[in-house]
Amino acid sequence: MNTSPIVSKVWSFCTTLRDDGVGYGDYLEQLTYLIFLKMADEYAKPPYDRDVGIPAEYNWQSLKSKRGAELEGHYVTLLRELGTKKGMLGQIFTKAQNKIQDPAKLNRLINMVDETEWVTMGADIKGDIYENLLERNAEDTKSGAGQYFTPRALIHAMVECVRPEPGKLIADPACGTGGFFLAAYDFITNPDNFNLDKSKKAFLKHEAFHGNEIVANTRRLCLMNMFLHNIGEIDGGAPISPKDSLVADAGNRFDYVLANPPFGKKSSMSFTNEEGEQERDDLTYNRQDFWATTSNKQLNFVQHIRTMLKTSGRAAVVVPDNVLFEGGAGETIRKKLLDNTDLHTILRLPTGVFYAQGVKANVIFFDNHEASPNPWTKQVWYYDYRTNIHQTLKKKPMRYEDLVDFVNCYNPQNRHKRKATWDENDAPEGRWRSYSYEELIERDKTSLDIFWLKDKSLTDLDNLPDPDDLAEEIIENLEAGLNSFREVLAGLKQSG
């Protein structure tokens, strides 16, 4: 089935609503409520005849039967009431609000959703439609939704390297709209990778995935995205917790953790002081299982992810550059990571691939192990996909093809058999090489922030990138610098 007519219909209506000040995010939210209600209505009829827990007075038919102010009032009440229910239903409608003030347009949206039979539509088609909407929402810089959206090409490459297997538990402690879960689901259900029997399919649908997402709107989109991709049940529990995963060790252990924790260094909370003024206080999580106490959120996520893993568990995590070089707690955590896990691979990413501006990031891959007197890491393989790479979100976004060479070098089928593409004399521009544990541990602050390729823009003035690319790169670097200065200033204000 061709999804484009449905997608274009859905988007053309979004354009109409934008004139009323309803942005992509708000539109996507309302669409989520309505598609969920319509699917619940379809499940309540033959051949399914399921009770999905929606009272008759708040079901799909109750919306279709009203018009004008009566429809608007009923819709507001419906959203509030369904938000009090348990399981997936309650999580989808948590803190739900009506953002479409014109009842005539709300009625048109209801009719548009009503025209499609959602349950009988293939999961890949429903999922494609929704993922398309999420990506467009992420591209809308005003909405700020990009910070919860990891480029799908990068997720695809990370999953290809980790190769999750059926019957195993997969987690993401900051899951955004669920991109890692969907990529893992697609990988496991691909017949080229595995043949799934009935019990493995049931495990994948009901038990495999576990996530945390503290932002209610994002959690709602994640649950709907997973549900449309055939993960979870309309009348089942919610696989995504609203809790802050860093606060405590929940005690669950997983086979795989795939994550892109939120950017921004500090964890902080707002409170009102004695003078009635708003203040922010850095959050440090005092956890017995952490190697070091710090307010650096990314370092805390790295420690937390290591705790989440079974002794045979494996992780692939997007981290900003500061995790590789920051002193103090950062140095302690890097040493512990090298000693207690096998930190075997680091992929260095270019700027211009994330919706958060000015982010310099990497993907670290590590395998957990039981305690040992000897360090588990023997060597760390680096792939430099940053030096002399120019990518922009609009004109030259990252595609999976850009990362195929990395995946091949990683050698997912047997990562213990790898070959460097860099050689000091024969291949000085090779992007893939390794450093031994001894070399890394002797570096200042055990810094893992390593480059070896020459930046051509500094030497080859005849072959400069396009002016557009250069300008975007300058903006990215300035943004990264500004972010660092903001963090320094925030720290000075705190200590002052």
Q: What per-residue confidence (pLDDT) applies to 411? A: 98
Q: What per-residue confidence (pLDDT) applies to 416? A: 94
Q: What per-residue confidence (pLDDT) applies to 173? A: 97
At 229, list the tokens.
Answer: 């991709």
Largest CA distance in the chain: 77
Fold of 4-121: Ferritin (1.20.1260)
Q: What per-residue confidence (pLDDT) applies to 262? A: 87
Amino acid letter, 443: R
What are 252-298's pLDDT values in tens digits? 999 999 999 987 655 544 434 455 554 444 667 889 999 999 989 99
The C-alpha atoms of residue 51 and residue 38 are separated, in whole angstroms, by 14
Q: What per-residue confidence (pLDDT) applies to 269? A: 46
CA atoms within 13 A on the CB side of 376: 19
DSSP 260-295: -PPS-SB-EEEEE-TTS-EEEEE-----TT-SS--S
Q: Which is nearest to 39 in space by CA: 107, 92, 114, 108?
A: 114
| 461 burial level (CB within 10 Å; 0-12, 13-18, 19+) | exposed
The C-alpha atoms of residue 354 and residue 151 are separated, in whole angstroms, by 7
Q: What per-residue confidence (pLDDT) applies to 3? A: 66
Q: What per-residue confidence (pLDDT) applies to 9? A: 78
Q: What per-residue confidence (pLDDT) applies to 264? A: 64
What are 14-53's pLDDT values in tens digits? 777 877 788 888 888 999 999 999 999 999 999 999 888 8
| Positions of the chain with pLDDT lower than 70, given as ranges | 1-4, 141-145, 148, 264-283, 457-465, 469-470, 473, 487, 490-491, 494-496
What residue segments make up the domains of the chain, in order of their start? Answer: 4-121, 132-486
Query: What are the CA-CA distances from residue 275 to residues 239, 271, 278, 492, 494 (Å)?
Result: 42, 11, 9, 21, 17
Q: What per-residue confidence (pLDDT) applies to 272? A: 42
SS3 380: strand
At 401, list the tokens.
Answer: 């093809």
At 241, list the tokens.
Answer: 């917790």
For residue 86, how far is the Cα from the chain centroid? 25
Q: Which CATH superfamily is domain 132-486 in?
A: Vaccinia Virus protein VP39 (3.40.50.150)
Q: What per-residue confidence (pLDDT) applies to 279? A: 45
